[in-house]
Each structure stands twice: as C-alpha cells, then as structure tokens.
C-alpha cells in the first residue's frame, strides 16, 4: 500500500473496510424486515456490502470522500496534498464505475447509498430504510440515493 500523507483524513473507515457503523446501522433494520443478504460477496467486483440473491440486487454503501461523491457537502478534498487525493479518488471513482457496469451487465441491479444520505439527516433515517426495502423488493432499476438525490426514481 502507498504511504498516506498525514492530515485531513475524513472517514477513512468508510473505504474498503467491513462492518462499519454506517453499514451496521443500515443492515440491522433491513434484516429485521425479513430481507436476507450476503455480505461482501466476492462473486461481484468491488464486493458489494449487501447482495440480495433472491432479488438480483446489490447495495454499495459509499463513503462520500473516498468514493468521490460529486457536489457533496462532506466530500471536500483537503487542501494539503490536494493532487495526491484527487488522483487517488479519481481512480476509486473509475473502479467503482467499472464494477457497477459489470454487475449491471449480469442483470443484477445496483443501489448506491451515499454516506451523506444518512449523515446529513435531511432525510429521515426510516425513510431511507423504507426506500431501500421498496427498491430491493420492487425490482426498481439501478440508482443512487444521497442527500442531493434523496428519493431517486430514475436510472443512472
Ligand atoms: Zn455525499
């Protein structure tokens, strides 16, 4: 692994680590509503946080900084070592896109839940959970949910 410069490291845990608080927060109520999923299934590139085989669907829970959420209030690139971070995050974004395209090509739907959808609290948490349940069970098409796009109804 490349050395990481010091200073300005928002939410490092939300990149490539398992069982983060945010993931658990989302997983628990979904399980309680009877949704069954596999965690970090290696069958799919990027090992989606949740895979619902019964519904042909995966969910990625994305940290806004590490996955480069555009126009997001909580994904500012630190001024220190700015070009380092820009490059790194650009690579992450390209890889995310490739992974999502691959999964969709195999007729599995993809839902991205951005960190800010939960953290910024402009959407009620249980509305987020309701949406996810609806999306998984209802065969809605691939989309993403964030503070910027709280109740998505369109494709991306
Ligand atoms: Zn965001």
| Cα(117) to centroid(ligand 1), Å | 7
The residue to which tokens 């402009």 are assigned = 122
Average pLDDT over residues 43-61: 95
- Note the pLDDT tens digit of each residue in 121-153: 888 999 999 999 999 999 889 999 999 888 877
State how far the Cα of 127 lies from the Cα of 151, in Å rounded to an integer.
9
| Cα(114) to centroid(ligand 1), Å | 5
What is the per-residue pLDDT for 151?
A: 80
Query: Near ion ligand 1, which residues have CB within 5 Å?
Result: 64, 69, 72, 114, 116, 146
Supply the range of the domain harboring residue 21. 12-145
Give, to the nearest 10 degrees, the angle between helix 125-137 and helix 21-32.
60
CATH number at residue 21: 3.40.960.10
In a domain, 5, yes or no: no
Average pLDDT over residues 94-116: 97
- Note the pLDDT tens digit of each residue in 54-92: 999 999 999 999 999 999 988 888 888 999 999 999 999
In a domain, 4, yes or no: no
In a domain, 131, yes or no: yes
Predicted TM-score (pTM) of this structure: 0.85
In a domain, 154, yes or no: no
- Determine the distance from the C-alpha atom of residue 146 to the mean position of all C-alpha atoms in its chain, rounded to a whole number: 9
């Amino acid at each position: 692994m490349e050395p990481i410069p010091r200073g300005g490291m928002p939410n490092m845990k939300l990149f490539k680590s398992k069982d983060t608080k945010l993931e658990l927060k989302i997983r628990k109520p979904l399980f309680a509503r009877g949704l069954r999923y596999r965690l970090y299934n290696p069958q799919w590139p990027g090992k989606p946080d949740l895979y619902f085989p019964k519904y042909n669907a995966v969910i990625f829970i994305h940290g806004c900084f590490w996955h480069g959420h555009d126009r997001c209030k909580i994904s500012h690139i630190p001024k220190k070592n700015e070009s380092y971070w820009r490059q790194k995050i650009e690579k992450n974004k390209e890889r995310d896109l490739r992974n999502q395209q691959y999964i969709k090509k195999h007729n599995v739907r993809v839902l991205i839940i951005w960190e800010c959808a939960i953290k910024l609290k402009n959407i009620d948490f249980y509305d987020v959970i309701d949406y996810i349940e609806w999306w998984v069970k209802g065969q809605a098409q691939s989309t993403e949910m964030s503070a910027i796009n709280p109740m998505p109804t369109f494709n991306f």
